[in-house]
Amino acid sequence: MVSINLRKPLLGLLCAFSVAASSLQAGFAQISAANPADFPAATYPVAGEQWPYVGGDPAGTWFSSLADINDSNAGQLGFAWAYDMGTERGQEATPLVIDGVMYTSGVWGIVYALDAVTGKLLWSFHPGIDPASARNACCDVVNRGVAVRDGVVFVASEDGRLHALDARTGAEKWTADTIISRNKTYTYASTGAVLLTSDCVVIGNSGADLGDGSTRGYISAWDIRTGALKWRFFTVPPAPGQPFEHPELEMAAKSWGPGHDGRYQNGGTVWDGLSYDAQTDQIVFGTANASPYVRAKSAAERHDDLFNASIVAVNAHTGRMNWYYQETPGDAWDYDAVQKFIFANLPVGGETRRVVMQASKNGFFYTLDLKTGKLLAADPFSYVNWATGIDLATGRPRFTEIADYSAKPKNVYPSWAGAHTWNPMSFSPKTGLVYIPTLDAPNVMVNLPANHGKLDHLEGFFNANGIIPDDTYDEVTLTRLFGPLPTKAELQKERGKTSLVREVLKAWDPVARKVVWEQVTSDGNRGYDGGVLSTAGNIVVQGRGDGTLRVYNARTGVQLAAIQTGSHIMAAPMTYRIGGVQYIAVQVGYGGIGISYPLPSSDIAYRNQNTNRIVVFKLGGGPVPQPDPRPDPLTYPAPPAFRSTPALIAHGEAKFTEFCSRCHMFGPGITPDLSRLPREIHGMFDAIVLKGVLAGAGMAPLDDMVTKYDVKAIHAYLIDQQRKGYEAQRTKNVVH
């Protein structure tokens, strides 16, 4: 157990298939419309006084039966208490509350136990990991939550270790290393919430977007008492000629095509979305994209690549597969299928069926029979142009010509960020609606080698790039780097008067299979809005990127309250009741996938320091105390003298874009703006990049990725950017 000051700057198909014979039957079981009031009762009790699971209940509904805060008094919500977590990165976890204690996790997998009435810290645990492992985290060193059972708290730290902690003291009871390969180039990290079955702790990992393709997806189950490994399920086959660890992989290997390259590990990581159903004793999880296989696949080159971009169900005791369904065969668009699942009872064909629902990254809302994996419905919940729909007889998408960007750039909806990603959605059995935080945005998908730009590779995208056409879509600079691209005006024609990029909170009827209401939450740019909570008080609660916690009428979508927290909100709220008082809590802090994105001056995370907090609300509370303002981040120090050439600077721009832009962009954000470096950092530049002298602050060495000449060029490019900014700054000051 460690209790410390944590604030430090950190740099930073085969078609649908089932083992169960019943799910091999082709066809579509019609989901019949029903009155929401007549919805079958949930199998599991929903959250009430306590919030014992990350999703509130084992079904992952993010719904609470509490109704003290409701559609008639939500306007009276105000501040109850807050806890400063001592960090300044992305917050994505939803806290638990059990027996008056709040348990939650923050960045790196730090765990906090608090008095849920006062916010007093009872204990904290820091996993003591090497900050250099941050290079393995695709999208910030976030963590999505803990699990608690029988006086033990379980968490996965960012470096892939699993920890079991005494819930009273935070003392470590056991730890297990879940990573199968640790070497200089491994790209594994763990950011998801751990899952508990009847006797196991289960976790996956991330990394399929990064590095040289050294990441192979799997989930592993560990004995809940001792931390001993019980079983492991690999999501993709081994290299050709290598033995299959379990029989499902032999079938999967046949789907990879003749070009399967044994040098690569194939990806398919499970970085979120683990769920357990006690009735069927099975774990349901989704898988990510392939790694590092060619993203820009023509229709002729496209193979299914199992079990990437799939939903898989395995027996919780043996780890053997029960069924699978592949959402996006031959994924070339980064359409991971790891979004969180919700289990529910729905009326299907005149009978009650236990189903699993997912609003997928690819823009379709899927409903499957939980026991057999049979596809029951698949409908677009957002604007989609890569497919015209899903063939319900085969389970396969009907691809459009837009899906093929191998020869020229295409504007594909939804973007690589997904129509819905990790941000939790919520299902209310009171209204029968699913509330989905939706990103209605495209990306211009570019096959880098074919488009004749300066780059053939981009860290995180391999041989492709997906450029979201928001306000940062600089056609001149982008064309110089990536080759000819469409103008923003050309892109806008497809959507008419609807903005190219917007975020929308949608209420989806899974029975009628349609949107019932929606609220546009950001327009023109990504707001990185948060997940969703719904309650029996007929309210839906969501935090926004603009810093407000918003409350809506669950049936109509009418806004009931907007409370300014002063902090960016990405996580999903939760609620609990102690001493007759209902509270709503949410973790706040900017980061995640937006770690490298420069913040506009209108953004709350630009104006205020990114103080990570847990903020708690109650009826009759006051205004939320605001974080301290952020110091002016736009000052350019005088650049150092540096001999350079246009060719060296151009090479540096290309290498910076390839290897550095995943974490660093120009403008205020989470990681440092490298065009505004102080003189002492310039003097250490080579040692930082090649030798890792700032590894303790999160900047791992890149000596396995770039040469000394590349580093010299990157430094020349950054000094040139700093010089231009400094000269413009001096000119502006003289004019004023």
On whether the CB atoms of residues 275 and 284 are closer than 8 A, the answer is yes
pLDDT of residue 591: 86
Using omega within 30 degrees of 0 as the cis cutoff, is the peptide bond preceding 292 cis? yes
pLDDT of residue 471: 84
How buried is residue 4: exposed, middle or buried, by Cβ count under 10 Å (0-12/13-18/19+)? exposed
Q: Is 472 inside a domain boundary?
A: no
Q: Mark whether 653 and 607 lie in a shared domain.
A: no
CATH number, domain of 318, equals 2.140.10.10
Q: Mark whether 603 and 694 lie in a shared domain.
A: no
Q: Mark whether 259 and 379 lie in a shared domain.
A: yes
Q: Mark whether 185 and 332 lie in a shared domain.
A: yes
* Given the residues 334, 336, 546, 603, the one annotated as active site: 334
Residue-wise pLDDT for 85-119, tens only, equals: 999 889 999 999 999 999 999 999 999 999 999 99
Task: Please name the residue ranges forming H helices in 389-451.
Answer: 448-451
- DSSP letter (8 states) at residue 659: I
Query: Which residue's entry shows tokens 């819905």?
Result: 420
pLDDT of residue 26: 26
Q: Is 470 inside a domain boundary?
A: no
Beta-ladder partners of 619: 77
- Give all strands of the β-sheet with 218-223 in edge-to-edge order: 195-196, 200-203, 218-223, 229-234
Q: Mark whether 594 and 672 lie in a shared domain.
A: no
**Hey, how many other C-beta atoms are within 10 angstroms of the C-beta on 728?**
11
Q: Is 168 inside a domain boundary?
A: yes
Q: Is 624 inside a domain boundary?
A: no
Q: Is 625 inside a domain boundary?
A: no
- Tokens for 73, please give them: 């008094």
- DSSP letter (8 states) at residue 626: P
C-alpha 229/C-alpha 224 separation (Å) is 10
On whether the CB atoms of residues 607 and 576 are closer than 8 A, the answer is no
Please give the tally of structural domains in the chain: 2
Q: Is 19's pLDDT higher than 70?
A: no
Among residues 270, 274, 2, 278, the alpha carbon closest in space to that of 128 is found at: 2
Q: Cα torsion at 486, 488, 490, 491 (round to 10°)? A: 90
- Give all strands of the β-sheet with 502-509 in edge-to-edge order: 426-428, 433-440, 502-509, 514-523
Q: Mark whether 586 and 546 lie in a shared domain.
A: yes
End position of a domain, from candidates 570, 604, 619: 619
- DSSP letter (8 states) at residue 660: I
The reported pTM is 0.91
C-alpha 253/C-alpha 306 separation (Å) is 7
Categorise residue 322: left if φ over 0, alpha if ψ from -120 to 50, beta otherwise. alpha
Q: Is 720 a catalytic residue?
A: no
Q: Is 28's pLDDT higher than 60?
A: no
- Tokens for 429, please give them: 């059995």
How big is the chain by its Cα radius of gyration, in Å? 24
Region 692-720 average pLDDT = 85
Among residues 245, 369, 373, the alpha carbon closest in space to that of 313 is found at: 373
How buried is residue 716: exposed, middle or buried, by Cβ count under 10 Å (0-12/13-18/19+)? buried
Q: Mark whether 146 and 258 lie in a shared domain.
A: yes
Q: Is 606 inside a domain boundary?
A: yes
When pLDDT is cut at 50, 70 and 90, the band that residue 76 belongs to is very high
DSSP-assigned letters across all residues of 23-80: GG--S---B----GGGPPPPSSPPB-S-B-STTSSTT---EE---SS-TTTGGGEEEE
End position of a domain, from candidates 578, 601, 619: 619
Q: Is 483 inside a domain boundary?
A: no
Region 369-393 average pLDDT = 97
Q: Mark whether 605 and 662 lie in a shared domain.
A: no
Q: Which domain holds residue 688?
A: 646-735
The three state secondary structure string of 114-128 is: EECCCCCEEEEECCC
Residue-wise pLDDT for 285-316, tens only, equals: 999 998 876 777 888 888 999 999 999 999 99
Q: Mark whether 244 and 348 lie in a shared domain.
A: yes
Residue-wise pLDDT for 602-640, tens only, equals: 778 778 999 999 999 999 999 999 999 987 666 889 999
> Which one has a higher pLDDT value, 664 or 629?
629
On whether the CB atoms of residues 291 and 205 are closer than 8 A, the answer is no
Q: Mark whether 686 and 605 lie in a shared domain.
A: no
Q: Is 9 inside a domain boundary?
A: no
